Amino acid sequence: MKNLWNDAEAAKCSDDLDLRVYSSQLLGQDKSLVLHGGGNTSVKIEQENILGETETLLYIKGSGWDLETIQRPGFAPVRLDHLVKLAALPALSDPQMVNELKTHMTDAAAPAPSIETILHAILPYKFVDHTHADTIVTITNTPNGLKHIREIFGDELVIIPYVMPGFDLARVCAEEFRKQGNDRTTGMVLMNHGLFSFADSAKESYDRMIKLVTWAEDFLKEKKAWELENHKRKNKPGVSNNPVVEGLAKFRADISQAAGLPMILQTQQDENTLAFANRKDCSVITQQGPATPDHVIRTKRLPMLGRDIDKYVSAYKKYFKQHSKNSKEPMTMLDPAPRIILDPEFGLSTAGRSAKDAMINNELYLHTMDIIQRSTKLESFQALPSQDIFEVEYWDLEQAKLRKGGKPPVFTGEIALVTGAASGIGKACVAALLNKGAAVVGIDLNADVVTMHDRVDYRGFVCDVTDEEKMASVLAEITLAYGGLDMLILNAGIFPGGANIAEMDMSEWRKVLEVNLTSGLQLMHLAYPLLKLAPNKGRVVIIGSKNVAAPGPGASAYSASKAALNQLMRIAALEWGVDGIRINSLHPDAVFDTGIWTPEVIAARAASYGMTIDEYKQRNVMKVEITSKDVAALAAEMCGPLFAKTTAAQVPVDGGDVRVI
């Protein structure tokens, strides 16, 4: 394992907390050590309080922060003396412990301290690092894991048998550290969980972590259990394979039905995931359990093999009934939908309530695949007993988080596609849908559409909407990335300069109809198989124009194309209503912050009406400004529950146009 420490960078740190931030980020950069909020780091610092008294504080990584990006505010300061006293108690429930941690922080604005705070407190070192190193998890998840760990590390590490995270783990660690610790101790292994290193300097603690993980890597290499075969599989499904695309959308609909709400489904079909899903022993090696308890909290349960959702749900209900009977408190079953799916045709699919959740589950299981394969090469993969897994999944602290969680945004778990997304109304629609929780795909000829948002729930594609093959490919990419399509905003369009019919360039007429009308029909045709499988039923919003109801001279191509698109909307409403798909039109006017309204176009249109530019911009009866955000807000609302029973509606967004009224 590569040591990333840089003395010159470390020298820029002004104090111990800065060093804690620096070395934490180094650990976070290596995904084989920690993933998505996993792992914990801490530092003990003496500080003077408001009374002038010196006290020692434990600064520990707070809830919601990732080591890779953590900053000073991400560490929660807790009074060390109180933590040490808590560690001496014979028992402490996890809810009580959380309360004690929160009430003995010195900064009310700091994040909630890690559940492992007391464990960090009892270790007699200034700096403590904790990771879920893949190599350690690989070795400990074998039948002879304890023997292997002792062979690798001798008496340099304290070895802790598996104990569920929380107060009991801290108490056991304190006892075992007293028994096993010696002057050569540099770290601690938590079986089936992870690795600790510690020292009185940030550099030494980090160096020890890298050294210990490297020893574990060398052991696996020596045992011929490190290198994974370069799997090959011929004739893998491509993104343009329609049966695969529609199959994924159907599968997402089934998962969403099992969950009781829309879910995002991310699918990865590379050679390794396909080869893993097609292993002859896949049904054995994948059903032992997760690699670490930390993964249970994210992925919830065992992978589903194949696509028989009813069989999986039935098995999960049986699993819940079997293990919940041992609980002292009554338990409510979580939704039984799978989070990890392995299928010989699809490869690896991961479900989540959001695109971020699905992505996290994907990355966690990709690491789990490597761990399982290396454990199998070393000996065999053997995870924790299912009762231990159940107790983590139904941990009272996790249940409390779920109970406290507020209502998610209205489009959480849903996917939207916006054409003409790089500017004006389209750009505003993307933002509005993202704000309401949707995963959004933007399409535009402008390359800015790709980098418009840097987040996992957004993807941008440079694409000509008139290119049928490219649009089909984009829909396939969307299905692989998110699982299908729920909402379609047809916004792309062009507005040529004013020209009377007698002087019109017929090539321009054909171009306007192709972009404004034919491309819309084409995309609706391509999207229909996905929209009809949307968990909450498909929705389409046409961005029309005031010109549909009140055309003006010199705009025949634009007015005719928008009117025809509006008529197409009405026909689709008649044809698609049986599928629960609803489609409506918005007719904006005088929205001047869009790409269509160049200064030249505005001047030409004003001249055709015999108006000045200012008069033309202020020609609605309410004398209000209409912006792209105004139109986007209503477009998003039309996709929401308020319009659940409305289809074929035409709604003006124009401040009141005299001719329309």
Task: For residue range 141-200, list pLDDT tens digits in order.
Answer: 999 999 999 999 999 999 999 988 889 999 999 999 999 999 899 999 999 999 999 999
Q: Are 361 and 429 found together in one domain?
A: no
Please determine, for residue 402, whether its predicted confidence score (pLDDT) is greater than 80.
no
Q: Which of the listed residues 381, 404, 427 is the one where a domain comes to its end? A: 404
| Amino acid at site 161 | P
Token couple for 496: 């040529």
Please determine, for residue 640, whether its predicted confidence score (pLDDT) is greater than 80.
yes
Residue 61 has a pLDDT of: 97
Percent of all residues in the chain with a pLDDT value above 90, rounded to a whole number: 77
Residue 481 CB partners (closer than 8 Å, separation 6+): 266, 267, 355, 439, 441, 459
Token couple for 346: 């699809």
For the domain that residue 19 is a member of, what is the CATH number? 3.40.225.10
Q: Are 190 and 78 found together in one domain?
A: yes
Each residue of 513-534: pLDDT tens digit? 999 999 999 999 999 999 999 9
Q: Are 369 and 429 found together in one domain?
A: no
Q: Are 188 and 94 found together in one domain?
A: yes
For the domain that residue 278 is a member of, what is the CATH number? 3.40.225
Residue 121 CB partners (closer than 8 Å, separation 6+): 58, 78, 80, 83, 84, 87, 170
Cα distance between residue 643 and residue 658, in whole Å: 26
Q: Is residue 409 part of a domain?
A: no
Please determine, for residue 544, whether its predicted confidence score (pLDDT) is greater than 50.
yes
Q: Are 207 and 177 found together in one domain?
A: yes
User: Do 569 and 584 touch, CB atoms closer than 8 A?
Assistant: yes
Q: Is residue 15 part of a domain?
A: yes
Q: Are 205 and 60 found together in one domain?
A: yes
Each residue of 444-483: pLDDT tens digit? 999 999 999 999 999 999 999 999 999 999 999 999 999 9
Residue 31: strand, helix, or coil? coil
The β-bridge relationship of strands 415-419 and 439-444 is parallel
Confidence grade of residue 414 (pLDDT, cut at 50, 70, 90) = very high
Each residue of 500-517: pLDDT tens digit? 899 888 999 999 999 999
Cα distance between residue 73 and residue 52, in whole Å: 23
Phi, then psi, of 47 in degrees rounded to 5: -140, 155
Residues 99-117: b if buried by 16+ CB within 10 A, e if exposed: ebbeebbeeeebbebbbbb
User: Do 78 and 101 touch, CB atoms closer than 8 A?
Assistant: yes
Going along 87-156, which residue ranges are E strands?
127-131
The β-bridge relationship of strands 347-352 and 340-343 is antiparallel
Cα distance between residue 253 and residue 202, in whole Å: 49
Residue 509 has a pLDDT of: 93
Residue 486: strand, helix, or coil? coil
Q: Which range marks the domain in which residue 255 is found? A: 242-404
Q: Is residue 228 part of a domain?
A: no
Q: State the residue for tokens 């967004």.
A: 653
Residues 349-376: b if buried by 16+ CB within 10 A, e if exposed: bbbbbbbebbbbbbebbbbbbbbbbbbb
Cα distance between residue 615 and residue 604, in whole Å: 13
Mean pLDDT of 333-343: 93
Cα distance between residue 118 and residue 419, in whole Å: 52
Q: Which residue(s) pair with 190 in the sheet?
A: 160, 194
Q: Are 556 and 579 found together in one domain?
A: yes
For the domain that residue 602 is a member of, what is the CATH number? 3.40.50.720
Phi, then psi, of 109 in degrees rounded to 5: -85, -5
Residue 617 has a pLDDT of: 84
User: Do 485 and 478 touch, CB atoms closer than 8 A?
Assistant: yes
Q: Which of the listed residues 222, 250, 268 is the one where a domain comes to its end? A: 222
Q: Are 211 and 87 found together in one domain?
A: yes
Using only C-alpha atoms, the chain has a radius of gyration, in whole angstroms, of: 30
Q: Is residue 34 part of a domain?
A: yes
User: Do 20 and 76 touch, CB atoms closer than 8 A?
Assistant: no
Enumerate helices (H) and strands (E) in the chain, giving the number of each: 26, 18
Confidence grade of residue 405 (pLDDT, cut at 50, 70, 90) = low
Number of domains within the chain: 3
Q: Is residue 232 part of a domain?
A: no
Q: Which of 336, 162, 368 is nearest to 261 (CA)?
A: 336
Cα distance between residue 90 and residue 83, in whole Å: 14
Residue 331 has a pLDDT of: 80
Mean pLDDT of 321-331: 82
Q: Are 179 and 254 found together in one domain?
A: no
User: Do 486 and 496 touch, CB atoms closer than 8 A?
Assistant: no
Q: Which of the listed residues 348, 379, 404 is the one where a domain comes to its end? A: 404
Confidence grade of residue 487 (pLDDT, cut at 50, 70, 90) = very high
Please determine, for residue 238, whether its predicted confidence score (pLDDT) is greater than 60.
no
E strand or H helix at 223: none
Q: How far apart are the first and last CA of the chain?
A: 72
Q: Which of 56, 72, 66, 77 is nearest to 17 (CA)?
A: 72
User: Do 187 and 210 touch, CB atoms closer than 8 A?
Assistant: no
Token couple for 397: 């602290």
Confidence grade of residue 401 (pLDDT, cut at 50, 70, 90) = low
Q: Are 552 and 426 found together in one domain?
A: yes
Q: Is residue 229 part of a domain?
A: no
User: Do 18 and 280 touch, CB atoms closer than 8 A?
Assistant: no
Token couple for 375: 């454990």
Cα distance between residue 227 and residue 552, in whole Å: 70
Mean pLDDT of 313-335: 86
Cβ burial, residue 201 (10 Å; 0-12/13-18/19+): middle
Cα distance between residue 31 and residue 33, in whole Å: 5
467 conformational bin, left if phi > 0, alpha if psi -120 to 50, beta if neither: beta
Q: Are 188 and 310 found together in one domain?
A: no
User: Do 395 and 164 touch, CB atoms closer than 8 A?
Assistant: yes
Please determine, for residue 391, whether its predicted confidence score (pLDDT) is greater than 90.
no
Cα distance between residue 578 and residue 582, in whole Å: 10
E strand or H helix at 442: strand 439-444
Q: Is residue 660 part of a domain?
A: no
Known active-site residue 558 = yes
Q: Which of 206, 312, 482, 558 is catalytic?
A: 558
Q: Is residue 287 part of a domain?
A: yes
Each residue of 189-203: pLDDT tens digit? 999 999 999 999 999
Residue 241 has a pLDDT of: 53
Rounded to whole angstroms, what are the CA distances from 70 to 106, 129, 308, 437? 19, 14, 41, 25
Each residue of 645-654: pLDDT tens digit? 999 999 999 9
Residue 294 CB partners (closer than 8 Å, separation 6+): 38, 132, 193, 194
- Number of CB atoms found within 10 A of residue 613's CB: 14
Cα distance between residue 461 and residue 446, in whole Å: 9
Percent of all residues in the chain with a pLDDT value above 70, rounded to a whole number: 95
Q: Are 103 and 198 found together in one domain?
A: yes
Cβ burial, residue 520 (10 Å; 0-12/13-18/19+): buried
Each residue of 102-139: pLDDT tens digit? 999 999 999 999 989 999 999 999 999 999 999 999 99
Q: Which of 257, 258, 259, 255 is nearest to 267 (CA)?
A: 255
Mean pLDDT value across the chain: 92
